[in-house]
Amino acid sequence: MSKPIILTGDRPTGPLHIGHYFGSLVERKKAEQTHQLHIMIADVQALTDNWENPEKVRNNVLEVAADNLALGFDTDKTTIFIQSRIPEIAELTVFFSNLVTVNRLKRNPTVKTEIEQKARLFGTDGESVTLGFLGYPVSQAADILSLKATVVPVGEDQLPMIEQTREIAGKFNRLYKTETFPLPEAKLSNAPRIIGLDGSAKMGKSLNNAVNISDTPEETIKKIKAAKTDSENEIRYDPKKRPEISNLVLLYSLVSGIDTETAVAELKGINYGTFKTQLAEKINVHFEPIRQKRSEIMKDPDAIFDTLAQGTEKARIEIKKTMQDVRTAMYIDYPA
Ligand code: TRP
């Protein structure tokens, strides 16, 4: 029996942070044992939001690749590849775009929220929403289905994408009387949600409120010292009422490998200043070997691109097989 296939991906729009690490990278690393794992660097998707800053996307491809490779994936088994290097994914996106209405895309809750955010930023909504942006769930469906992945590890905000992917797969199969595509399942991480160091709801790649995997120990200390707390000066874990300090306690528990209750007991009576010093220290100790490996890897960017090229080649073999099934089902498998 072959192993179930996972596709997971990151937009290369900034370095990966401690939230990505505990929320997905650690899970990926575990899944490597039991699944055929594919890690996609979603540069095409990143461009749907960053078409005006292609050099930002380009620079972050290397960063995100290194963040992943620092965990020590076995690249003989696991493929790590660049989305734009596989033109068949774009081809599949075109075929899928016939199966999705514009109204359905506008109803996708994640897209809907993003369109509202754009409207707030740029005033008029219709004028700032491109075809590429509106259609990115279709492109993501092509990412997933081109590899016939059955498991897609995601955060909450990505659930609507998987729902749409299942709809597209089902519609393709019914319409073209085929069993080409499996219906993939979303796999939510059970790691608790980490919020921004500034107290905002999300630790974000480009929000400057995160400890990055690639940060130096000094940067880590500085960021933790500046993290928002409250004026109670009493360490507790109560994410609803005391979100900022609870978030720091959560980080402490994660890097120490203990639960939050044990962490609170361990930290009883300590003031915030001392706690922050200890937290930064623990984070630095936890990430020391990963950061070490990361800087080794970063010394040789060509080797990183070699690894990506190998991953691309392997993933592309599978994707070409899928495309053959797709062409047969769609009556476009011409003899020559
Ligand atoms: N949309 C994902 C994100 O915002 C990135 C992504 C692109 C992805 N293609 C994917 C995730 C396919 C899982 C599967 O981070």
pLDDT value at position 205?
A: 78
pLDDT value at position 49?
A: 93
Is residue 80 a contact partner of residue 307, using CB atoms and an 8 Å limit?
Answer: yes
In this predicted model, what pLDDT tens digit does every residue of 47-99 receive, in sequence order? 999 999 999 999 999 999 999 999 999 999 999 999 999 999 999 999 999 99
**For 182, phi and psi rounded to 5 degrees?**
-75, 160
pLDDT value at position 124?
A: 67
Is residue 323 a contact partner of residue 90, using CB atoms and an 8 Å limit?
Answer: no
Confidence tier at 144 by pLDDT (50, 70, 90): very high
Note the pTM of the prediction, 2 decimals.
Answer: 0.95
Largest Cα–Cα distance of the chain, in whole Å? 77
**Is 144 near ligand 1, meaning CB less than 6 Å away?**
yes
> Which atom of ligand 1 is found nearest the CA of 7?
14
Q: For a substitution probing ligand 1, which of 61, 140, 151, 206 has the most ligand atoms within 8 Å of its CB?
A: 140
**Is 42 near ligand 1, meaning CB less than 6 Å away?**
yes
Percentage of the chain beyond pLDDT 70 is 99
Whether the per-residue pLDDT at 125 is higher than 60: the answer is: no
289 token code pair: 């070997």
Please name the helix (run of DSSP H) or strand (run of DSSP E) that holds residue 306, with its range, or none. helix 301-329
In this predicted model, what pLDDT tens digit does every residue of 6-59 receive, in sequence order? 999 999 999 999 999 999 999 999 999 999 999 999 999 999 999 999 999 999
The rounded distance, in Å, linking the Cα atoms of 240 and 234 is: 15
**Is 140 near ligand 1, meaning CB less than 6 Å away?**
yes
